[in-house]
Structure 1
Amino acid sequence: MTQPTKLYTISELADELDVTPRAIRFYEDKGLLSPQRAGMTRVYTHRDRGRLILILRGKRLGFSLREIREWLALYEADPDQVTQMQALSEKIADRLRELEQQQVDLEETLVELRRIQDQVQAHLAAKTDS
């Protein structure tokens, strides 16, 4: 006998994944989620839950909604997920390059700020010593 498919309300899904119902509705408005309806109530399947997990992971890693949408579309088009994984690998490589450049930029900014702070402190020390 087959198990009935687990359905989630928006509140259950939000609580389980630690997001707000508003965030879920936002992803719906952007076409990333398409819940079913039971009367006036949105109901989400296990598949919707999985998509939301991927969306949240993509956002946390800094991917745009456009990039996430493309990746989800590939998932639908390629059941073997080969194309999706290749595209994801390229996006990850791009994101790594971006973050590594940001890291270099941040380190340079920190060095410059420390240098300026040292100069300011030296100037203040000279003024208070005189």
Structure 2
Amino acid sequence: MNVSIPADDDNFLRRECPTCEQQFKWHLGPINDEAAAEPTPDVYYCPLCGVPAGTDQWWTKEQLEYARARAMPDILAQLSNETGLHIDPTSDVPEAMVEPNDMDIVQSPCHPYEPIKVPTGHEQPIHCLVCGSVFAV
């Protein structure tokens, strides 16, 4: 099942650290040729706490809940077709998610081709998404 999770107008996707549970955004897709030439990391570092996690660990609670709710009618229909059982589809399908245009864009000095967005007013040091190096804004 494919469920679309929207990015903001700058093509940044909201992410949530599995360790500190703070939210930030990372850019979807390469921003330039340099970025396109770089290998995809096996882990990313939380820009806010610096703890690394696998690339599939950054979904927000809201994104996961939305994906489950959007996929459920299709799952029930497929189950009904495969088993022959009559299963009433759920009527609690959420409206499409909308990603607000919030947060401030930041680029690390070591990997500027991987910009992030951090909460507006964030004054603590930031960690590079790619290598975890600390830098100040």
Coarse TM-score class (shorter-chain normalised): under 0.3
Structure number with greater Rg is 1
Larger helix proportion of the pair: 1
Normalising to structure 2: TM-score of the pair? 0.21
Report which structure shows greater RCO (CA 8 Å, sep ≥6). 2
